[in-house]
Structure 1
Amino acid sequence: MSRPYQVLARKWRPQRFDDVVGQVGVTQTLRNAIDRKRIAQSFIFSGARGVGKTTTARILARALNCEQGPTPDPCGTCDACVEIAEGRDIDVIELDAATHTGVDNVREVIIESLGISPARDRYKIFIIDEVHMLSNSSFNALLKSIEEPPPHVVFMMATTELHKIPETIRSRSQEFELRTIGARSVAEQLGRIAEAEQLQVDPDALLLLARAGEGSMRDALSAFDQVIAFAGERITAADVASVLGLIGRDVLMDMADIVADGRAADVFDAVGRLVESGQDLKLVVRELTGLVRDLMVVSVDPSRLDDPELSGDAERLRALAARFSREDLLRAFDVLARAEQDVRYAAQPRYHLEMALLRWIHLGHLAPISEVLEALGSGRPLPAGAGARPAAPPVARPAPVTPATPAGAGTGSALRRLSESARAASPVSVASPVAAATPPAAVAPRPPAAAPPAAPAPPAPEPGDAGTPVGGGTIEQLVEALRKSNRTFFGTALARATFAIDGNKLVLTVTGNFEQARCEGRRSWIEETAQQVLGRRHVLEIRVVAQAAEAAPDPTELDKARLRDQALKSEAVQATLDVFAADVRDVEEIQ
């Protein structure tokens, strides 16, 4: 009778510490502990699926019970090594915690047999797989046994969810975290297995298999088994993509080319072809996110172009990375990451993928915020791609025609006349804060007769014309240079200040003590900037000018305004205004 087929994941399971891929830190620590006779009573191996947790526990059990041991290099030929590898050693008990979760199972299998010495081996070893599935009562029953087991007992626990194990158990055990395995290490191991199995596999196919494993050697070997069944002894990248439903790297790069060219109409055709070929759109978005990551890696560090993890045509990847800025790639990664969540739960995932690609195209029309701010601050036109819409030409509005008001018209016409007359009588003037060398005069409303006049500003020094060159530049150019150099400081200290030249002095007039203190702290910077712009050295002199106080409104006028509003709300007053086309000039409260 022929021996049944054994899958690659079991056939090529590591039998020695040196065979474990990608876990050097864990295996080297265990080897040293065995060499120095520092063997703990309990071990916890945690990590993702398929990274070697249970395998490492079995190798450790062989190392402890080998006839030549304890040794970090078990022989693999003695009865203990062979039986432990085949899972039939009477002194090495493997317990599936997902099946035996109850406290009765733990008492029957573990606790009651603790006092019995090993039948043949050196240690009685309990390997508990998926230990986080045990109930709280089971953990409590194990607590004392794990803390103080008999000298011939060793516990080994494996779990994918370390956080579910109680702290009381973890504090009594040595924890070893097995990390996911790099794609390069997985591809190299698959290559060695392919050579031993006498298979011809393209390097690109090995990389696709490694990426499909997502850091799990067992998942990669399972996928390898599936591809061998499909393609036979000659395996290409196309075979791997076809069997596993992966997206070809060329297809992803074609979609990136569509985005780089801004061909929005072609987005719908490209997504339609993916849907017709039966591709999983969630996987498409995930692979596109990986492509954006690879483009960013090449953009930041072109020397990593030959990294095996960057699968695909290296020259095309380099050319494609040059077509996107790093800012665009960062924003594209965020767009695609959100799209993956939308596609996962959407009733129409195709629509979300199309909109995500269109958003990616639109990202190329955005300009960096630094360029936009610089353009706005200097008065230059916005940079290309800033997304600014051209201002629409002003539409000439016809002058309003006020028809004669009939005797029974509504009361709203009088209010409209009042508001229009108020707007016509309230002109608004806007002045630039740094427009001349002298401080601007304070603008205050016309005070009533009893209000004191505003205090005049003290005389400023005799400035030169702000637009006249002084040495190499002008005062206006100095103000602009200070604003560009430090916008935050300019907005808080110099926005309402004025400059003037008085001989060899640069007179800076500010409006408060806070601005004066800020400018004193930046005196050397202001002087150096002035020397660069004006062409010669000036000594900075800072003066403070108090702002003119705005006159307080007259309480009598406020009272009259309130009464006027109340009168205009009266229906009788409104009817009278509509009939006689009169206006309210004064109001008086009747006691």
Structure 2
Amino acid sequence: MAEQLAIYRRYRASTFGELRGQDPIAKTLRRAVADGRLGHGLLFVGPRGTGKTSTARIVAKALNCLAPADGEPCGSCTACIAIRDGATFDVVESNAATSNRIDDVREDLIPLITNPPTDLKRKVLILDEVHRFTNDAWDALLKWLEEPPPGIVFIFCTTDPSRIRPAILSRLQRFDFRPIAQDEIAGKLTEILKTEKRNAEPEAIALLARLADGGMRDAESMLDQLLSSGVDPLRAADVEELLGLPSAEHIVKLAVAMLDADAPAGLAILSEFELRGRDPHVVADHLTDLIRRALHAALAAGGSVPADASRLPAGLTLGGEPGAPLPLAGRDRADLLRLAHALRRLESGRGDADLRLGLELLLLGTLTPTTPTTTAPLVASAAPVLAPAAPAAPAAPAAPAASTASTAAPVSSAAAAAPAMKATRTPRAATPSTSTPPAAPASDEWTRMLAAADPATKPLIADARPAFADGVLTLLYSVSKSFMRQRAEGRRDRIEAIAAQVYGAGVQVKFLEQDVDTALREVWTDA
């Protein structure tokens, strides 16, 4: 059985004219080849799947083509065919991810550099992921970049140019490949489907183009996987199911639940995602994308999300045909901004379990400012840990009566929570903007506890911010100290024994990480 090439290999661009989304680069390189002004060292920079290695191959063809037309390779001469089939030793591709040491350069690359071309007019050395080269390997190559042998062209490809030494960068012509626009990706996928005699709904193609995140190869690989399923025509729901994505319908319902403070409905959706194995990071990404596009729609409409897409600029529709009803229609921009800020904070550097917990906390602690009684318990529960460590102001005379009333009548506790939350919102200017806990004056008890800690325990608690109340010692860690928090939890018994010596017998120790609670508190105080 003949080998079936992947779609991204079968439909790879073979001429400058076939390159998608990189017109300025294609035009510059074609003109440089036609005029004989192409440098001996090129650097292609850009995200994965944007055409860097494909362009390098096209350059190799254009330099060696026997019948070029204004810098374009013909694709049918012996040189073009040999390069296409990998049947020549004069065009060599190497990956620095696996061959990046000085020995690899000396044994493999330098012999290729020093020997003149054998079959073709020019020798082309294509090196991918060159940011993985060691400094010694670059030193070995530097001499040949300064004084290259005649007839050789170096083409370096990388996704991270910041890791390449300035001495190397200064000797190369740099070309920056940009992420490919969604309409370009969708157009290419449509052409592939037509050639393959397969069908797909426009919504499915648009979803694939969006999921590719600017990478043509990613889009083609996903399409290849979907076509292998045999589904025809391909619908957006099929894309979501076959790729293991949360459905758009459920993402919209989750956003509505968060905005409406409908915790039961939102938790049910999160539970379904978990049962179906949906990645919480993907859920958060799709939720953030929905809110972002809704914000664009609200901005275009002047305050809130409009009811139909015909009022929006091109490219800002939230799905469906132009004129279809929009999800989140009528939502206020301020509510959407609060949810967007909270999601951004939750996604920053958190693991799967923490992110899932964070999404649940966003549901339990409503973001809607018109329902303070729901938010107050969550914010109040974080207040003892998150409040500044300065001495508290004297209580108002009416406070004891309010406390007594709340004990006697449960209904009064909700009413008392609202003023407490309002007081939390007042000192907004004093709240630090960073995710690091503010420095607190060390109490005598905490100083004595650090002094009593053994050498193995002290480093685990030294960076925490302590708060003691009602027999519970809470240690608050910043996100950057998450590893220390985990290690400290592993020595809970030892830390509680030390705390008992200082704070008294029976003290309990809790370990918290600041970011989730702080995010909810800051989102509310931004209202």
Please indicate the TM-score interval, normalised by the length of the shorter structure. Answer: 0.5 to 0.7
CA contact (8 A) 1:205 1:237 kept: yes
The answer to whether the aligner puts 1:41 opposite 2:40 as a matched pair is yes
Q: Which residue matches 1:256?
A: 255
Counterpart in the other structure of 1:52: 51
C-alpha distance in 1 between matches for 2:399 and 2:324: 46
Q: CA offsets, 1:5-42, max 9 Å, x none?
A: 11101101110112111111211111221233211010
Q: CA deviation at 1:81?
A: 0.7
**Counterpart selection for 1:361 from 364, 367, 372:** 367
Q: CA deviation at 1:276?
A: 2.6
Give 1:175 shift: 0.7
CA deviation after TM superposition for structure 1 residue 270, in Å:
2.5
What secondary structure does 1:100 align onto?
coil
- Over 3 Å counting, the alpha-carbon distance change for 1:100 and 1:140 in structure 2 is same
Paired with 1:41 and 1:171, the residues of 2 have a C-alpha distance of 13
Partner of 1:111: 110
The structure-2 alpha-carbon separation of the partners of 1:281 and 1:306, relative to structure 1 and needing over 3 Å to count, comes to: same
CA-CA distance at 1:294 after TM superposition: 0.7
Q: Distance in 2 between matches of 1:123 and 1:65?
A: 6
In the other structure, the counterpart of 1:466 is none
Instruction: Report what 2:221 is aligned to.
Output: 222
- Aligned equivalents of 1:104 and 1:143: distance in 2? 15
Q: 2:344 aligns with which of 332, 337, 344?
A: 337
Partner SS state of residue 329, structure 1? helix
**Shift, 1:4, TM fit:** 1.3
> Quick check: 1:238 aligned with 2:246?
no
1:279-298 alignment, distance < 5 Å: 279-298=278-297
Task: Mark the CA change 1:262 to 1:117 in structure 2 (over 3 Å): closer, same or farther.
Answer: closer
CA pair 13-319 structure 1, distance change in 2 beyond 3 A: closer
Q: Relative contact order: is structure 1 or structure 2 higher (C-alpha 8 Å, sep ≥ 6)?
A: 2
Q: 1:532 — aligned with what?
A: none
Cα pair distance change 1:116/1:271, threshold 3 Å:
closer
Tell me what 2:383 maps to.
Answer: none
- CA distance, structure 2, for counterparts of residue 357 and residue 43 of structure 1: 51
- The CA deviation at 1:333 is 0.8
**1:171 and 1:11 mapped to 2: Cα distance?**
36
Q: Which aligned pairs between 1:544-583 and structure 2 lie closer than 5 A?
A: none
Say whether the 8 Å CA contact 1:80–1:121 is kept in structure 2. yes
C-alpha distance in structure 1 between counterparts of 2:402 and 2:118, whole Å: 104
CA change 1:313–1:263 in 2 (3 A) is farther
Distance 1:280 1:359 in 2: 22
Matched with 1:172 is 171
Native 8 Å contact 1:207 1:309 kept in 2: no
Query: Which runs of 5 or more structure 1 residues have no equivalent in the other structure?
Result: 367-390, 398-591
Structure 1 residue 311 corresponds to structure 2 residue 316: no
Deviation for aligned residue 1:280: 1.8
1:191 aligns with 2:190: yes
Q: Determine helix, strand or coil for the equivalent of 2:45.
A: strand
SS at match of 2:338: helix
Q: How far apart in 2 are the matches of 1:364 and 1:332?
A: 14
Q: Which amino acid aligns with 1:352?
A: G
- What are the within-5 Å matches in structure 2 for residues 338-487 of structure 1? 338-341=345-348, 344-345=350-351, 347=353, 349-359=355-365, 361-363=367-369
Residue type matched to 1:295 in 2?
A: A
Q: What are the Cα deviations for residues 157-202 of structure 1, in whole angstroms up to 9, with x where unaligned?
A: 1112211111111100001111111222211111111111101111
Question: Do the aligned partners of residues 232 and 346 (structure 1) sit closer, same or farther apart at CA in structure 2, a change above 3 Å counting?
Answer: closer
Matches within 5 A, 1:51-200: 51-69=50-68, 71-200=70-199
Are 2:44 and 2:174, in contact at CA under 8 Å, matched by a contact in 1? yes
CA distance in 1, matches of 2:354, 2:133: 41
Task: Kindly state the Cα deviation for residue 70 of structure 1 after the two structures are TM-superposed.
Answer: 8.0
Indicate conservation of the 8 Å contact 2:102/2:134, yes or no.
Answer: yes
Q: How many residue pairs are counted as aligned between the two chains?
A: 370
In structure 2, the residue corresponding to 1:235 is in which secondary structure?
Answer: coil
1:135 Cα deviation after fit: 1.9
Distance 1:364 1:209, change over 3 A: farther
- State how far apart, in whole Å, the 1-side matches of 2:153 and 2:81 are: 19
TM-score of the aligned structures, taking structure 2 as reference length: 0.65
Higher helix share: 2
Distance 2:258 2:324 in 1: 15
- 1:328–1:364 CA contact under 8 A, matched in 2: no
Alignment CA distance shift 1:71-1:142 (3 Å): farther
SS at match of 1:137: helix
Q: Flag the 1:110–1:173 CA change in 2: closer, same or farther, 3 A.
A: same
Are the equivalent residues in 2 in contact too, given 1:339–1:356 (CA < 8 A)?
no
RMSD over aligned Cα atoms: 2.6
1:80 aligns to what SS in structure 2?
helix
Q: Secondary structure at the match of 2:83?
A: helix
What secondary structure, in the 3-state scheme, does the structure 2 residue paired with 1:58 have? helix
Q: TM-score, normalised by structure 1?
A: 0.58
Q: CA deviation at 1:363?
A: 4.3
Letter in 1 for 2:147: E
Tell me the distance in 2 between the aligned counterparts of 1:396 and 1:195: 73
Q: Quick check: which has more Rg, 1 or 2?
A: 1
Distance 2:40 2:292 in 1: 44
- Distance in structure 1 (CA, Å) of the matches to 2:103 and 2:185: 41
Q: Is the 8 A contact 2:67 2:74 kept in 1?
A: yes
Instruction: Name the residue aligned to 1:402.
Output: none
Aligned to 2:456: none
The alpha-carbon distance between structure 1 residues 124 and 299, as it changes in their structure 2 partners (threshold 3 A), is same
Q: 1:310 to 1:147 in 2, by over 3 A?
A: farther
1:322 counterpart residue number: 330
| Aligned residue in 1 for 2:19 | 20
Deviation track 1:186-221 (CA, whole Å, cap 9, x = no partner) reads 111111111111011111111221122221111111
1:32 alignment partner in structure 2:
31
Q: Distance in 2 between matches of 1:364 and 1:286?
A: 27
What CA distance in whole angstroms lies between the structure 2 residues aligned with 1:233 and 1:265?
37
SS of the residue corresponding to residue 301 of structure 1 reads helix
Give the corresponding residue for 2:504.
none
Letter in 2 for 1:134: F
Contact 2:12-2:54 at 8 Å conserved across structures: yes
1:145 is displaced (CA, Å) by 0.8
Report the CA distance between 1:316 and its aligned residue: 6.3
